[in-house]
Homo-oligomer: A and B are copies of this chain.
Amino acid sequence: MIVRPPQHWFLRLFDWHGSVLSKILFRLSLNLLMSVIAVMGYQWYESLGIHLTTAPFSLLGVAIAIFLGFRNNASYARFTEARRLWGSLLITQRSLLRQVKSVLPEQDDEAKSFAALMIAFSWSLKHQLRHSDAQTDLARLVPPRWRDEVMNSPLPTNRLLLCMGIWLGEQQRNGAISDVFIQNIDRNLNALSQVLGGCERIATTPIPFAYSLILHRTVYLFCTLLPFALVADLHYMTPLVSVFISYTFLSLESLAEELEDPFGKAANDLPLNAMCTTIERNLKEMNSDFPLPEPLQPDSRFNLI
C-alpha cells in the first residue's frame, strides 16, 4: 500500500512511485513505436488500399471502456472485501479479548495466553496467504502448551482456531466461564472462522480466467491498431494522442490485475505485515503488556507491506 503526504495537483502529475507506470512502460514504448511507423508509412500503405478510420475504433474503445469498468469493479470489490476481512479480524479479536477479560478479570495469565493464540492466528493467516514460512512466527508466538500441535499441523491457522475452541471448552468445564457467556465468545470464534475462510476464498479463486484474458487481448490489440486509425486525422500528433489513450487503458488494465490479488506484496496490495503489527499492538495494550511493538512505517518509497 502506498501512504504519502497530500501533494499539490501539479506534483502528482509527475509522481512515479506507486503508479503502475513501470509495469506498462515497455508496452507504451511499443505503442510509441507503432505510432511513428504509422506516421512514417502512412502514404505508402494508404496507396495499397490499407485504410483505417476513427469511427469503428471509437465504438470499440467505448465498448472496451465499459467492459474494463466492469473488471475494475470486480477487482476493486476483491480488494475492499479482503481489507474488510482483515478489519473484521482486528475487530473480532479485540471483542474476544474484551469478553475474556470481562469474565476472567483476575486471570491475567489466561488472558495473555489467549491473546497470544489470537496474535499467532493473524501472523499464521498472513503467511498462509503470502505462501511464506510461518514457522519462525509460530515458534515466537504460540504458547508452549499448543506449540507442537500447531507447528506440526499441515493447516496451522485453522488448528489455532481449534485450540481456542478447546481452551474455551476447558474454561467452561472448570467453571471459570458460564455456559451462557460461552455462547457470546463462541459466536466470535465463528467470526474468526469466517475471516479465515473468506481470505482463503479470495486467495484461491481468481476472477474467471477468461475475463482477464478477453480484456487483456482486446486492450492490447486495440492499442496496437489505434495509431493506424488516428493517423489520417492527426498526422504528426498521432504519437501524443495514441500514447495518451493507450496509457489510460493499459494502466487501468494493469492496475485491475494488481488489485485482483490483494494479498501480494505489490505497491497497491494490502500491508499485511503492518496489519498484523497493529493487531499485536492492540491486544497487548488491552492486557497492559508493555512495551508494545512499534507500528510499521512506510519505507522511503512510501511503500507499506
A interface with B by C-beta (< 8 Å): 1-2, 4, 9, 12-13, 15, 18-20, 27, 49-70, 72-74, 76, 79, 83-84, 87-88, 90-91, 94-95, 98-99, 101-103, 105, 153-155, 158-159, 161-162, 165-166, 168-170, 172, 178-184, 186-190, 193-194, 196-198, 200-201, 205, 208-211, 213-214, 216-218, 220-221, 225, 230, 233-237, 241, 244-245, 247-249, 251-252, 255, 258-259, 267-268, 270, 281-282, 285-286, 292
Contact of A247 among B12, B54, B218, B230 (CB under 8 A): B218
In the bound complex, residues from chain B placing their C-beta under 8 Å from that of A155 are 281-282, 285
In the bound complex, residues from chain B placing their C-beta under 8 Å from that of A181 are 179, 182-183, 186
A72 to B, closest residue via Cβ: B70
> A19 near B237 (CB under 8 angstroms)?
no
Q: A83-B201, A95-B190, A205-B83 are known contacts. Are A244 and B268 too (CB-CB below 8 A)?
A: no
Q: How far is the CA of A236 from the CA of B84 in the complex (A)?
A: 52
Q: A186-B184, A201-B83, A205-B83 are known contacts. Are A56 and B9 too (CB-CB below 8 A)?
A: no
> A61 near B59 (CB under 8 angstroms)?
yes
A146 to B: closest C-beta gap in Å: 14
From A211, A258, A292, name the one whose CB has the most chain B CB atoms within 10 angstroms: A211
Q: How far is the CA of A146 from the CA of B135 in the complex (A)?
A: 40
Q: A162-B101, A251-B214 are known contacts. Are A208 and B259 too (CB-CB below 8 A)?
A: yes
> B69 near A236 (CB under 8 angstroms)?
no
A213 to B: closest C-beta gap in Å: 5
Interchain residue pairs with CB less than 8 A apart (14): A18-B213, A51-B234, A60-B244, A62-B62, A62-B66, A79-B208, A101-B166, A153-B285, A155-B281, A155-B282, A182-B184, A188-B190, A205-B270, A208-B268
